[in-house]
Structure 1
Amino acid sequence: METRPLYPDDIVARKSDLMQLAVVERTVEDIDSHTPYPGQGQEPIIRDRSISQSAFGRFLRDGIPPKDTVLIRLRDDTSMELLPTSKVKLIDRSLLIGDIVKRSSSDAVSGVILQTSTKCSLQPMCDVTFQGTQTFKGILPPGKYNPTTSQFCVYPNGKPDIVTEIPSSELRVTDSPTEEDLVVYKDWIGRVEAITNNIQIRLSDNCVVEIPDESGEHVDGALGTFAIGDIAKTKKGNLRRGHWIFGQYNANTPPVGTVVSVRTVEAEISWLQKRVGSLADEPPSSLERPELESPDFQVYDRTRRPTQRDSNLSYNTISNSEIDVKLDTRVRFKDLTGACLKYNTPSHPNRIPKLDRMDNLGYDLNVFDIVAFSTEVVVQWQDLTITTDRSIDLVPDGNIDDEHAAWPSEITHSLNLQPVLGMDGIEQPEKVGIVHAVNAAERMATVKWSPDSYIHYSGDADDEGEIRPIVAHAIRTPVFEEEVSLYDIEAPAPLNVRRGDIVLITKPATSSQPGDAPWLGEIVDTPLDGTFVVRLGAASEVRDVVMFREEAVVAVRSDGTDDLGDPWGQNEMDEDEEDEEFSDDDEGESIDEWESGDEEMIARYEDENGDPMDEEEVENEEWESADEEDAEMQDAPEHQTPPTSQSATPTDTSDRTVNQASQLTHLNLQPAGGPLSYSVLDGDPPSDHHFANEPATTSSNHMRRTQKEHKILRNPSTLPQGVYIRTYETRLDLLRVLLVGPTETPYENAPFVVDFYLPPAFPTEPPQSFFHSWPAHASIGALGRVNPNLYEDGKICLSLLGTWEGNKGEGWNAARSTLLQVIVSLLGLVLVREPYYNEAGYEALVGTESTKRPSALYSERIFLRAKGFLITAITSVNDTAGLKGFEDVVNWLYRRADGPKLLDATIKNVEEVLQRSDGSSEPNGLTVMSKGACVSLKRVLERLNELKAKG
């Protein structure tokens, strides 16, 4: 039987002991959890014996679980364990309304969660003894409490039976607020970051004292806040200083008891948004008891529902939230009396025990722990079918960031923009509509267009160069239907919402009642007519209202994309911490230290003549050649033939770069009479060189190192095939590089241009770079970056350039790194066959089943985007930014009869791809494309043939 894929927060159990539950902490595929040194300074980590010591050591360093392993947190222990996935069983998967899911990671079709239905198993309060003498009502945390070794145990007959099959809709969480809760205070909505509580403890002498939460200790030594029903220990000094609710301090009474009340005295809150139109200043980041108990403060409760139904609404797709169910969550029944009548039967009269307040000084101790649960969900799929599934039979869709993914009810528009009459600098798409259904496998969508809708974009992009600001929009009921390629439409994220999003109402109803907030609500339905249904959950009377998109503004995204910061709450390790050692215990015990069994990598350095160098010489940059005057640039050769793809690379290039570069292939770019691969151009650099206005540097050290860089680059044996370099007679510190995409990659035959600048601090600082990312062609389709490392605003993400924090030793080194190494890295490590895995942290996902389809779809988009680059270069070589100085190269590469005829080669390649893409094979993004991609690719072929006909 195939092992189910696992994800963080899944509930699992060891197959050898299904009663011992655990929570998944990390998997190899969840890159967001791959922070180094897991568990350091916190819980110990146990290694399963089947995992080698060396693999475990690597995990302790980089935080990435080895393939087919999982890191779990044991429920009844304070430790975590790394073990094979084959040894655990998936018990439940927590999915929330609005989550995007699939039936398997290899499926094309996605769906959105409409409803969740969770059945819980509850542990009632127990009789707990302390030191065998005092007895309390309470709930001990998970663990083994042996009467012979522990001060605590359950008495006299063990724990009462677990109450099973209780719908979470009948439960509520005992304590509020808690961390991560959304709260409303006056005109603002915020998120609770931390809370400070006081707890009231009932002692064995029936006295009650209130002390600060942090003065108490959990019986298992765990950290965290207390909940009603917990057993708390403290010190007698804390009791003396406490506030006595009942009775008074007695030195003979043990400082142990049951938490009977929790009172929040302070809450640290991150304020997110304020009511539209409000002039109120942001509240203080810390609210104290007077503010928390005022009518202006409330915790946003997603479980509230309208008392009356709107007859105009269809309720079969409206979402109704329940509590967020987690292991060991402390809950109450919303209606305990009703639950007792419902579940207590003559055969099980005390299935749900009910504790009388009169027996507990008036405190309500009818609380329960969630010890297990199972979830069913209702899913609406992209083809509009609706099914009910077990949560464990579904997987999260890891491809929701795909620029060309779409789901029913999303606002979409055509790619081509046109000026808005009478509005300078404003553009709008030709067509705006609503997605009605999606054929994800074929990358096609059914869209209903709305002639009365519009979206106005500002002509100025934001700082990232990717998102154009929307200045106005109006969405109205769609009219006519059309099947379109997903590559021909865009679904603007700022306008689209998901179930669970919290929105601000732009024109809310007025209310003078304190604490009433009808200006805030949750998206609970997204019909197919351009509207959405908002539940005004913060209003005194909850109701559902239908709104157009422009009548609400998203304040909090349900998927957390509005959040910033380190989810693990830890900063980067100091270099000293990286050297911490770990050791192993063969019996599978806790691992505190570890010694690497890997052999130390010995670096070998050579000067430019190939002679060996001592490391001290390298670090002192004493790698000058004896004939330094030969580096002068006036003697550049008149003609150079581009080297083959097997050309040598500098000895200081990393092994990975060398290996990658040696595997590059191109069509023959070496016909006689071709342009120089390296050339110094007369005069000043062109005005479109990104660094043309940067000051030149005249220091002798800088000039000497600059000349060395050029000496390396002009050597015919160094440049890989497909690289062309231009520098300038007056500015040798500026260079422009054209890279031709290697064959058997999505970038095949496409040109990519990068500008370089050797700044005054060079080589102490790395070169500065700028990538010329040309705009996408609306007629071709495909949006976004052409590579995860190449940004549309020109940024290049590369450790050698200091723009990415790579592994130790991969950054720029003034003594060993060269500009050639940077260029080879761009060609060999960026323009690769599967660029999806260039995303930060994705290298750990290579070969995993769940990423095969996302990688193919990414390559498919890049294939189209790269063809757009090729068309841009050929069509407007004299006018396109970045191509100045390469006009002869572009003409020779693509058009001239004596060149490699890359235009003809590209036409042939596109024709072959279209011929193979007949629906009989799964698209791979390189040789076989989806139907949606073929729609665009046919237009690409038509345009390429037009360019060929023009000669």
Structure 2
Amino acid sequence: MVLLCTEDIVAKKGSIRQPGSIATVERTVQDVDTHLPGPFMQEEDPIGRKAFSGAVWRKFSLDGVPPQGTVLIRWVRTDRVELIREVELEILHRQLYVGDVVMRGPGSTESGVVINVNSRCSLQPMGTATVKSNGKSLMSLSTFDDSTDLVRVSKQLPHLLDVPVAELLYEESPAEDDMIVYKGWLGKVLSMSCHLSLRLTDNSVVEVDEEVVELLSQAPELPRIGDVVKTKKANLRTGVWKFGRYNANVPPVGTVVSSRPVSIEVGWVSERLVGSIEHHEPPNVLERDEFESDHFKVYDRSRKPAASMDVPTVSNSEIEITMGLRVRFRDLAGAAVKYDGASTVGKIERIPRQDTLGYDMNVFEVSSVSATVSIQWQDLSITTEPSIALIPDTAIDDEHAAWPGEAAHTLASSKVDGLSRADRVGIIQSVKASERMAVIRWCPDASVAYTQPDTITEDGDVAEMIEAVVATATGDTAEVSLYDLDAAAELNVRRGDVVLLDSGDVYRNLSRGPSDVCWLGEVVDTRLDGLLLIRLGLSDEVRDIALQREHVHVVIRSDGTDVLDDGGEDDTDEEDSDWDMDTDSDGDDAEEVTDEEEAVYQDENGDPMDIDEAENEDWESDEGGVDVDTDIPEGDLPPAVPLTVTINGPDASNGVHSIQAHDTHPTKPASSNDPPSYLILSTPIPVSHNFATQPSTSNPATTKRIGKEHRILSSPDALPQGVYVRSWDSRLDLFRVLFIGPLGTPYASAPFIIDFYLPTDYPHAPPQAHFHSWSGESGLGGTGGVNPNLYETGKICLSLLGTWESGAKTEGWNSSKSTLLQVIVSILGLVLVPEPYFNEAGYEPLAGQEGSKRPSALYNERTFLRASGFVIGAIAALRARSPAALLPGMQDLQEELRWLYLKHAGPRLLDSVIERVEGILDRSQSGEGEVDGSAVMSKGATIPLNRIATRLRSLTES
């Protein structure tokens, strides 16, 4: 069965030719970007469903994730949505675009870039409809509902079949989403206001505002040429009459024969960068005298050079074709000759203008679409395949993926003039995806440098400023591990990207006059010598020119990023968030759904307690600690394999949750010589503590609650093994916690340190936390974050910390029940997990799917390299035996780390890390087993892993 993807065109099996059987896929399990909670809130009508249990339906109604084996579709004709099983559908068309990254299937190791799309379609010609009140006919492309009492379809001509989209153009121009140029500015059409000319049954034509007409068909779009519409007689009376005049006896029903824009709303993207620059931004709404002037041009991306050569790697755009689109033939006379009825593709019944008062009614509606695409694969081969045989690559966010023609630099770098400069820069020639290896040709004159300003983006990533000159690849080639390269987004473009010329010298050589728009183009090839082939599609003469990357500036990316949006916010009103999910559920099987389980409290003897007594801060157990509920919220992150923590569900007898820690850490069982898991220090607060300068509290209630947190943490066996908590007698609101990565995960035996602060309004506000992320030694340990929830900037995404919206109230911080211990155990059991790939926001439903196995394995591979870098960094700092050499966060934990990794009396974790690395190398290099990212790794991963092993061994000898 073909895997269905978002935006696929589908039909119910066995009903393709029946009206109303066509639908568009809107949500799938694997497309996490579509998983918006509360899908009912986004629809006016109830969501259709059949044969789904109440429990399954309720879960979907909350999280918006389609159950396994189902998709959410929208019927084209009725605009209604339905949750339906995939086995009931068959795919008709999958729209792919130039620049898309695709795979052959969910388990594929290799991906490729779409370089050309060849679409074909079926077209419905103009037919006729009969007005019921007077029996007269109107031209029509509309499809009418049986409930329409004004008109009926009287004649439909046979469809034209297998028409190449390259022969077609849009019905009208400009249209919404078109790119336009006006007085040196590039913009995007956001909306248009039009006047429509209506041809009535008496052959008169009147122009009215589009706002006063109503479609008679079921199409949800605005009226287009060929649509039959109705209005009120008063609107006809006040309209502008082109032919004939108002007649009260003529029904106010007519065919749209012309659409004339009267104003165009534009979102301006950028001004030109070279030539005569008009710095004053044009108005957001252009009037007729402006968009009908010579300064206004519509960017037709389907234009080609006159002497275009058939080069397989050069991309050629078509118009964006969709079902229901209205189109015309570029060459109607030639099409009439080609489609003359002599073959099975059909015949064009050409409509002469003299029969339609001079209006061109040779308009067609797309009734079906199919496409074949040309793909350049990572190994540089090119194939042509049906679009429905390919799926979008789900791992394009892989930090170490690369494709031919991309610029990349080595991770190894040198510090020069305060900047980090890459040792070498080159152009990817080919990639062996299964081995994570690439062939690269070096660019001798290239230079790439990074600097890190004090800027953090909204998602927590450091905004690195990049200086780059790539030039051309004329040097030697080398086979390099992908883990030793970074194909940085700042260096690269994609096919289909819209760019502005950024070189005055190049512009002056190209320009053929002040009106020649040769400062704007589209990337049509990323050549292996490093040059970009840019198509000047709005130039007086369309040309393809080869330019260095430094000479262009990307303004609109083909993947949709950086494209101007409407700036609108979610339409859902805040008061609608607590919607009643039972409104679309069946009453028979509906069960009560609550946001939070009612807490059940017991004393030390197991007897029930009153809630007021239980939540009294002064109640303590016999051991002096506080008997608290330390549940882990089960929805914060994907549940981990219970290597560290077992989260027991509600006991059948009392409904109380419990948590049990297991000894699955590489540390020895506690002895009298071991460092304590909890300790209050009398030393000064380390300056490296991220919250050292935050104010302490003087609030008695907050102070009392902080004391409660310390009693909980100091309780016997409260802390799981592998966790060491430190605080200071001068600041009991500050904590520093060392986590040792659990066995069975890519974090095994690696140290991770987090600073905590209980703010002055604690516990009404959750703890604040900062993760100490260490960059590692150059050339070791890969690059990027070590976990989707642990940012390089120190931010930690966790519902309990209030830094992640999980969508369920029970998963957030609860001032009366949540504790710091709960946060610590959650990090250990829900963040440092065997498959951290599924910690990515929204990725939990992907666990267990075939298409997620390889991305998860590759993420584990990279994570293991990064975690090994943490081990090396910590031990190298300890070996230096200088306080200044300690990495941020190690202060006041250095002796614990020394005992854990180096001392013979301790567990000697360094030895076990080396043994683990060597075991992975032996299995991987012998070809033993399938690459899983844990026990066996790819060839590309073993190259830096060998360097890691050598560095670790050198630390044992220090």
Normalised to the residue count of structure 1, the TM-score between the two structures is: 0.91
For 2:441, the equivalent position in structure 1 comes to: 448
SS of 1:442 mapped into structure 2: coil
Give, in angstroms, the shift of residue 347 of structure 1.
6.8
- Tell me, in whole angstroms, the C-alpha distance in 1 between the residues paired with 2:949 and 2:192: 61
Residues 841-871 of structure 1 deviation map (CA, whole Å, 9 limit, x = unaligned): 1111111111111111111110111111111
- Tell me, in whole angstroms, the C-alpha distance in 1 between the residues paired with 2:612 and 2:177: 53
User: 1:142-161 residue pairs with structure 2 within 5 A?
Assistant: 142=143, 145-146=145-146, 150-155=149-154, 158-161=155-158
Give, in angstroms, the shift of residue 240 of structure 1.
3.0
For 1:539, the equivalent position in structure 2 comes to: 539
For 2:639, the equivalent position in structure 1 comes to: none
For 1:637, the equivalent position in structure 2 comes to: none
1:893 aligns with 2:893: no
Match of 1:252 among 245, 249, 253: 249
Q: Alpha carbons of 1:748 and 1:552: their partners in 2 closer, same or farther (altered >3 Å)?
A: same
- 8 Å contact 2:379–2:430 — kept in the other structure? yes
1:703 aligns with 2:703: yes
Shifted more, 404-413 versus 180-189: the winner is 180-189
1:602 aligns with 2:597: yes
- Tell me, in whole angstroms, the C-alpha distance in 1 between the residues paired with 2:865 and 2:466: 26
Q: Alpha carbons of 1:366 and 1:167: their partners in 2 closer, same or farther (altered >3 Å)?
A: same
- 8 Å contact 2:917–2:949 — kept in the other structure? yes
Give, in angstroms, the shift of residue 60 of structure 1.
2.9
1:403 aligns with 2:402: no
- Tell me, in whole angstroms, the C-alpha distance in 2 between the residues paired with 1:650 and 1:66: 23
- 8 Å contact 2:928–2:936 — kept in the other structure? no
For 2:451, the equivalent position in structure 1 comes to: 458
Q: Alpha carbons of 1:41 and 1:390: their partners in 2 closer, same or farther (altered >3 Å)?
A: closer
For 2:333, the equivalent position in structure 1 comes to: 337
- 8 Å contact 1:660–1:829 — kept in the other structure? no
For 2:13, the equivalent position in structure 1 comes to: 15
What code does the residue aligned with 1:471 have? E
- 8 Å contact 1:415–1:781 — kept in the other structure? no
- Tell me, in whole angstroms, the C-alpha distance in 2 between the residues paired with 1:334 and 1:429: 50
For 2:287, the equivalent position in structure 1 comes to: 288
Give, in angstroms, the shift of residue 815 of structure 1.
1.0
SS of 1:303 mapped into structure 2: coil
SS of 1:710 mapped into structure 2: helix
- 8 Å contact 1:735–1:756 — kept in the other structure? yes
For 1:876, the equivalent position in structure 2 comes to: 877
- 8 Å contact 2:644–2:663 — kept in the other structure? yes
- 8 Å contact 2:226–2:257 — kept in the other structure? yes
For 1:188, the equivalent position in structure 2 comes to: 185
For 1:789, the equivalent position in structure 2 comes to: 789
1:726 aligns with 2:733: no
Residues 696-747 of structure 1 deviation map (CA, whole Å, 9 limit, x = unaligned): 2211121111111111111122111111111111111111111111110111
- Tell me, in whole angstroms, the C-alpha distance in 2 between the residues paired with 1:616 and 1:366: 79
Give, in angstroms, the shift of residue 183 of structure 1.
2.0
- Tell me, in whole angstroms, the C-alpha distance in 1 between the residues paired with 2:240 and 2:609: 74
- Tell me, in whole angstroms, the C-alpha distance in 1 between the residues paired with 2:772 and 2:545: 47
- 8 Å contact 1:735–1:757 — kept in the other structure? yes
For 1:413, the equivalent position in structure 2 comes to: 409
SS of 1:667 mapped into structure 2: coil
- Tell me, in whole angstroms, the C-alpha distance in 1 between the residues paired with 2:317 and 2:453: 40
1:771 aligns with 2:767: no
For 1:237, the equivalent position in structure 2 comes to: 234
- Tell me, in whole angstroms, the C-alpha distance in 2 between the residues paired with 1:438 and 1:479: 18
- 8 Å contact 1:23–1:75 — kept in the other structure? yes
Shifted more, 795-804 versus 17-26: the winner is 17-26
- 8 Å contact 1:326–1:370 — kept in the other structure? yes
1:933 aligns with 2:927: no
1:849 aligns with 2:850: yes
SS of 2:366 mapped into structure 1: strand
For 2:955, the equivalent position in structure 1 comes to: 947
What code does the residue aligned with 1:196 have? S
User: 1:102-113 residue pairs with structure 2 within 5 A?
Assistant: 102-113=103-114
Give, in angstroms, the shift of residue 833 of structure 1.
0.8
What code does the residue aligned with 1:721 have? Q
Give, in angstroms, the shift of residue 190 of structure 1.
2.2
- Tell me, in whole angstroms, the C-alpha distance in 1 between the residues paired with 2:743 and 2:365: 60
For 2:307, the equivalent position in structure 1 comes to: 308
Give 5+ residue unaligned stretches, structure 1.
Answer: 585-590, 633-643
- Tell me, in whole angstroms, the C-alpha distance in 2 between the residues paired with 1:647 and 1:67: 26
How many pairs were matched up? 917
Q: Alpha carbons of 1:490 and 1:626: their partners in 2 closer, same or farther (altered >3 Å)?
A: closer
SS of 2:39 mapped into structure 1: coil
- Tell me, in whole angstroms, the C-alpha distance in 1 between the residues paired with 2:79 and 2:558: 31
Give, in angstroms, the shift of residue 228 of structure 1.
1.0
- Tell me, in whole angstroms, the C-alpha distance in 1 between the residues paired with 2:51 and 2:519: 57
Q: Alpha carbons of 1:246 and 1:614: their partners in 2 closer, same or farther (altered >3 Å)?
A: farther
For 2:686, the equivalent position in structure 1 comes to: 686
Give, in angstroms, the shift of residue 140 of structure 1.
4.4
1:481 aligns with 2:477: yes
- Tell me, in whole angstroms, the C-alpha distance in 1 between the residues paired with 2:183 and 2:900: 66
Q: Alpha carbons of 1:339 and 1:943: their partners in 2 closer, same or farther (altered >3 Å)?
A: same
Residues 869-900 of structure 1 deviation map (CA, whole Å, 9 limit, x = unaligned): 11111111442001111011101111111111
- 8 Å contact 1:648–1:717 — kept in the other structure? no
Q: Alpha carbons of 1:841 and 1:647: their partners in 2 closer, same or farther (altered >3 Å)?
A: closer
For 2:666, the equivalent position in structure 1 comes to: 667
What code does the residue aligned with 2:418 have? G
Give, in angstroms, the shift of residue 604 of structure 1.
2.1
For 2:372, the equivalent position in structure 1 comes to: 376
Q: Alpha carbons of 1:787 and 1:674: their partners in 2 closer, same or farther (altered >3 Å)?
A: same
- Tell me, in whole angstroms, the C-alpha distance in 1 between the residues paired with 2:664 and 2:200: 78
For 1:754, the equivalent position in structure 2 comes to: 754
SS of 1:906 mapped into structure 2: helix
Give 5+ residue unaligned stretches, structure 2.
Answer: 627-642
Give, in angstroms, the shift of residue 18 of structure 1.
2.1
- 8 Å contact 2:667–2:900 — kept in the other structure? no
Give, in angstroms, the shift of residue 361 of structure 1.
1.2
- Tell me, in whole angstroms, the C-alpha distance in 1 between the residues paired with 2:40 and 2:139: 30
Give, in angstroms, the shift of residue 663 of structure 1.
6.5
- Tell me, in whole angstroms, the C-alpha distance in 2 between the residues paired with 1:441 and 1:691: 45
Residues 637-680 of structure 1 deviation map (CA, whole Å, 9 limit, x = unaligned): xxxxxxx956999999xx99988874672124324211111111
Residues 87-125 of structure 1 deviation map (CA, whole Å, 9 limit, x = unaligned): 111111111011111111210111111111011100001
Q: Alpha carbons of 1:223 and 1:905: their partners in 2 closer, same or farther (altered >3 Å)?
A: same
Q: Alpha carbons of 1:623 and 1:224: their partners in 2 closer, same or farther (altered >3 Å)?
A: farther
Q: Alpha carbons of 1:613 and 1:551: their partners in 2 closer, same or farther (altered >3 Å)?
A: farther
- Tell me, in whole angstroms, the C-alpha distance in 1 between the residues paired with 2:888 and 2:667: 27
User: 1:194-205 residue pairs with structure 2 within 5 A?
Assistant: 194-205=191-202
